[in-house]
Amino acid sequence: MIQLYEERRPPITPELALRVAIFGGVALTLFAIIFFRLWFLQVLSGDKYLAQAMGNQLREIRVQSPRGYVVDRNGTILVDNRVGIGVQVDPQKLPPDGPQRAILFHKLASVLKIPVGRIGREIKRQRKLLPYSNVTLKTDATRAIYTYLFERRDQFPGVTARPLFVRHYPHRDLAAHLFGTVGEISPPQLKLARFRGVPQGTIVGQGGIENVYDRYLRGRDGATRVQVDALGQPKGELQVVAPHQGQQLKLSIDLDLQKAGQQALKDAGGGLPGAFVALDPRNGEVLALGSTPTFDPNLFSKPVSTRLFKQLNSKANGAPLYNRAIAGLYPTGSTYKVITATAALQSRIITPSTVIDDPGSVKIGNITFKNAGGAAHGSVALRQALQVSSDVYFYKMGAQLNGVHGEPLQTWSRRLGIGRQTGIDLPGEFKGLLPTPAWRDRLFRKHQTDRPWSTGDNVNLAVGQGDLQATPLQMAVAYSAVANGGRVVTPHVGLDVEDAVGRALQRIDPGASRKVHISDANRQAILDGLHLAASAPGGTSADVFKGFPRKVFGKTGTAQRAGQGDQSWYVCYVPDGRRPVVVAVTIERGGFGAQAAAPAARLILSQWFGIKKKFVTGQSRTR
Partner 1 sequence: MNDTAITRSLDDAIRPPDRAAMRLDVVLLLSAVGLVACSLVTIASATHDDVPGQPQHFLIRQAVYAGIGFALMLAASRVDYSRLRELKYGLYGFVVSSILVVFALGNVTRGSKRWIDFPFVRFQPSELAKLVLILALAAFVVDRVRRLDERDTTARVMLMALIPCLLVFAQPDLGSGIVYIVVALAVLFTAGTSFRHFAALFVLAAIALSLVFVAAPAAGVHVLKPYQTRRLTAFMNPSDNPRDQGYQQNQSRIAIGSGQKTGRGAAHATQTKLKFLPEHHTDFIFAVVGEQFGFVGAALVLSLFAMMIWRGLRIVTMAKNLYGAVVAGGIVAMLLWEVFDNVGMTVGIMPITGVPLPLMSYGGSSVLVTFLALGLLQSIHVQARAAAAAKGRAALPF
Q: Which residues bind partner 1 (CB under 8 A)?
A: 1-2, 4, 6-10, 12, 15-17, 19-20, 22-24, 26-27, 30-31, 33-35, 37-39, 41-43, 45-50, 52-54, 56-57, 227-231, 235
Of 2 and 562, CB closest to partner 1 = 2
Residue 46 or 365 with smaller CB distance to partner 1: 46
Contact 171, 255 (CB under 8 A): yes
Nearest approach in angstroms of CB 94 to partner 1 is 17
| Helical pair 472-484 and 520-535, crossing angle rounded to 10 deg | 120
Contact 289, 256 (CB under 8 A): no
Question: What is the closest distance, in whole angstroms, from the C-beta atom of residue 238 to partner 1 in the complex?
Answer: 12
List the end-to-end C-alpha distance of the chain, in Å, as a whole number.
123
Instruction: Give the H/E segment covering residue 584.
Output: strand 581-587
The distance of closest approach from Cβ of residue 311 to partner 1 in the complex, given in angstroms and rounded to an integer, is 45
* CA dist., res. 356 & res. 425, Å (int): 43
Q: Are 595 and 565 in contact (CB under 8 A)?
A: no
- Residue nearer to partner 1 on the CB measure, 20 or 521: 20
Q: 234 by DSSP, 3-state: which?
A: strand
Which of these, 292, 289, 304, 291, lies nearest to 252 by C-alpha position?
A: 289
- Cβ proximity to partner 1: between 238 and 504 the closer is 238
**What's the min distance (Å) between Cβ of 5 and partner 1?**
8
**For residue 136, what is the enclosing H or E element?**
strand 135-141
Q: Are 593 and 568 in contact (CB under 8 A)?
A: yes
CA separation (Å) from 262 to 173, 265, 405, 526, 591? 9, 5, 44, 29, 19
What contacts 85, CB < 8 A, 6 or more positions away?
Answer: 140, 141, 142, 143, 145, 146, 161, 162, 163, 164
CA nearest 409: which of 498, 337, 514?
Answer: 337
Nearest CB to partner 1, comparing residues 16 and 242: 16
Kindly state the smallest distance separating residue 27's Cβ from partner 1, in Å. 5
Closest approach of Cβ 222 to partner 1, in Å? 24
Closer by beta carbon to partner 1, 33 or else 240:
33
CA R_g for the chain? 36
**Least CB distance from residue 16 to partner 1, whole Å?**
7
We find the least distance from the C-beta atom of residue 237 to partner 1, in angstroms, to be: 15
Q: Residues of 115-142 as b/e, b for ≥16 C-beta within 10 angstroms?
A: eeeebeebbeebeeeeebbbbbbbbbbe
Q: Please say which residue, 59 or 487, places its beta carbon nearer to partner 1.
A: 59
Q: What is the DSSP letter of 469?
A: B
Give the nearest distance from C-beta 130 to partner 1 in angstroms.
18
